[in-house]
Amino acid sequence: MRRASTTLEDVARLAGVSPATVSRCINQPQSVRAEKRARIQSAIDELGYVPNGAARALASRRSHMIGAILPSLDNMLFGGPLEAFQKEIGSAGYTVAVACSEYDPQHERVHIRNFLESQVDALLLVGAHRDPNIYRQIERHGIPYVLTWVSSGDRQEHCVGFDNAAAAGHLVDYLVSLGHRRFGMISGHVDQNDRAGARLSGVQKALTRHGLTLDPAHLLYRPFEPDAGRDAFHILMSAPEPPTVIVCGSEPHAYGALFEAKDMGIAVPGEVSVTGFDDMWLASQTSPTLTTVRTPREEMGRQAAQHLLACLRGERIVAPRPLETTLVVRRSTAAPRTSRHLA
């Protein structure tokens, strides 16, 4: 238990360094040599020293806290990027505070307000589509922010992500090259989700390039859950002329589709091909393994952190380049059966 009288000077004395070095080690660990860091940490542990956060914030005019608001904490999608972001941010002496919006703009608005009231030094947000007043509110507080999972738009200079529409379009190009002409899609709700909207737009534009269309009856909007994917797959494959391929706007949709296909006795890819989006670890373990788009999630988390840290250092920032996605072809896709192929 830390004694009330334990001070930064006590730590410095025990570690044999100056108080300024201890302060630098706490606030910017990478700026202190590893051998000194080890001595300082040993002294901190021995004394049970905990920095006074309020005094630290008052002296530096910074809380050393970064707010991160994610749509969900209930799946594997956001954990990897958050871990990469946190490691990078932590190495610079910052702590990440995480909130979940549950894909609800009003929840996100409340979290943003709470973080601003708590005087976080920066914000990480997912997606770019939100009320312009929210951006004005953030900018009035004078803190940097980064928008992840997107790469373009009115606030491109803040975006660290990838081109969702282009990635979905490349996937469609591959499926058309296999001979597919009758497409179905399970999409996330697009009214408040610009990532889902961009993927749907990418699919539709790619089909138009190939002289094809997405039948409105073959487009279903669902929450990002496997059970929702099951339900949508069942509806699509119960149609009089079901699609020969179902493009899923998220991986949970695709997992549900594969589970439902097995229950319905529908062969994948023999009777219908199925694709996902993101390449989470389960994609290589499903039966059949899932053809999908691999998104650079961990790299995105690292670059988002580096972008914010550069802003906090007062460096001049240029618009980040879109990160690359990769089409990963596995066993859930094949050419359609000749009897089902539409020329």
In order of their start, the domains of the chain are 8-51 (1.10.260.40), 63-162+296-324 (3.40.50.2300), 164-295+327-340 (3.40.50.2300)
Residue 29 confidence (pLDDT): 78
Beta strand 183-187 pairing with 122-126: unpaired
> Tens of pLDDT along 181-235?
999 999 999 998 999 999 999 999 999 999 999 999 999 999 999 999 999 999 9
Sequence-ordered alpha helix ranges (H) in the chain: 8-15, 19-27, 34-47, 53-60, 79-91, 105-117, 132-140, 164-178, 194-209, 226-237, 251-264, 297-312
Cis peptide before 226, with omega less than 30 degrees from 0?
no
Distance, in Å, from the CA atom of 85 to the CA atom of 95, rounded to the nearest integer, reads: 10
Residue 9 confidence (pLDDT): 86
> What amino acid occupies position 91?
S
Beta strand 122-126 pairing with 65-70: parallel
Cis peptide before 288, with omega less than 30 degrees from 0?
yes
Band the pLDDT of 7: cuts 50, 70, 90.
confident
Q: Which two tokens stand for residue 147?
A: 């928008």
Of 2 and 25, more confident: 25
Distance, in Å, from the CA atom of 146 to the CA atom of 160, rounded to the nearest integer, reads: 7
> What amino acid occupies position 241?
E
Distance, in Å, from the CA atom of 241 to the CA atom of 201, rounded to the nearest integer, reads: 23
The mean pLDDT of 154-168, rounded to a whole number, is 93
In this prediction the pTM is 0.81
